[in-house]
């Protein structure tokens, strides 16, 4: 059990981190120096009155709700929200409504037994009047539950 002091011939295996810390501090100083001093602000615009409201006041067009729904019953009678309209008047009415709106979406609600050709005609007239997206609303079937 002998202990030897001093030079036993083994080398020290610790990593010298002093050069790495020096490089890290130099890089930190470089990045701090090249950082821009001036701060750039982004311009923010606050929304004012809606353009739809202004156009509606000027043209005096009455829009009942924000969502436009064209309903078609089983007899091919058309209604825009609650206003009855014929197929000939549909294009001009939709053009009046959608020329004053930024939201160009429209929905079509059709009767269950309605031929799809009638719905296609309404979609064609709507697209010609400036409607952007057309959505279809289906009626849910009510199932009778027996007690």
Average pLDDT in the chain: 76
Domain-by-domain residue ranges, the chain? 52-137
Residues 44-67 pLDDT 10s: 565 565 555 565 556 555 544 577
**For residues 30 and 77, what is the distance between their CA atoms, to the nearest angstrom?**
76
Are 108 and 123 in contact, with CB atoms under 8 Å apart? yes
Is pLDDT at 21 greater than 90 in this prediction? yes
Band of residue 147 on the pLDDT scale cut at 50, 70, 90 = very low
CA–CA distances in Å: residue 24 to residues 32, 35, 80, 85: 12, 17, 70, 77
The pTM (predicted TM-score) of the whole model is: 0.49
Please tell me the predicted confidence (pLDDT) of residue 30: 93
52-137 in CATH: which number?
Answer: 3.30.420.270
Radius of gyration over alpha carbons of the chain, in Å?
A: 37
Place of tokens 């606050």: 46
**For residues 136 and 73, what is the distance between their CA atoms, to the nearest angstrom?**
14
- For the residues 124-146, what does the mean pLDDT come to? 73
Please tell me the predicted confidence (pLDDT) of residue 128: 85
| Highest mean predicted confidence (pLDDT) among 7-11, 47-51, 102-106, 136-140 | 102-106
**For residues 106 and 131, what is the distance between their CA atoms, to the nearest angstrom?**
7
Residues 73-106 pLDDT 10s: 888 788 888 788 888 888 888 888 888 777 778 8
């Amino acid at each position: 059990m002998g202990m030897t002091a001093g030079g036993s011939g083994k080398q020290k295996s610790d990593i010298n981190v002093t050069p790495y810390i020096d490089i890290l501090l130099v890089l930190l100083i470089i990045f701090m120096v090249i950082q821009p001093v001036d701060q750039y602000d982004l311009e923010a615009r606050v929304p004012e009155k809606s353009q739809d409201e202004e156009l509606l006041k000027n043209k005096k067009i009455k829009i009942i709700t924000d969502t436009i729904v064209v309903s078609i019953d089983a007899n091919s009678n058309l209604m825009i929200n609650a206003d009855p309209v014929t197929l000939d008047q549909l294009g001009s009415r939709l053009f009046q409504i959608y020329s004053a709106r930024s939201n160009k979406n429209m929905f079509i609600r059709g009767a269950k037994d309605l031929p799809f050709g009638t719905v296609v005609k309404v979609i064609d007239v709507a697209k010609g009047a400036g409607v952007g997206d057309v959505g279809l609303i289906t009626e849910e079937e009510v199932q009778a539950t027996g007690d």
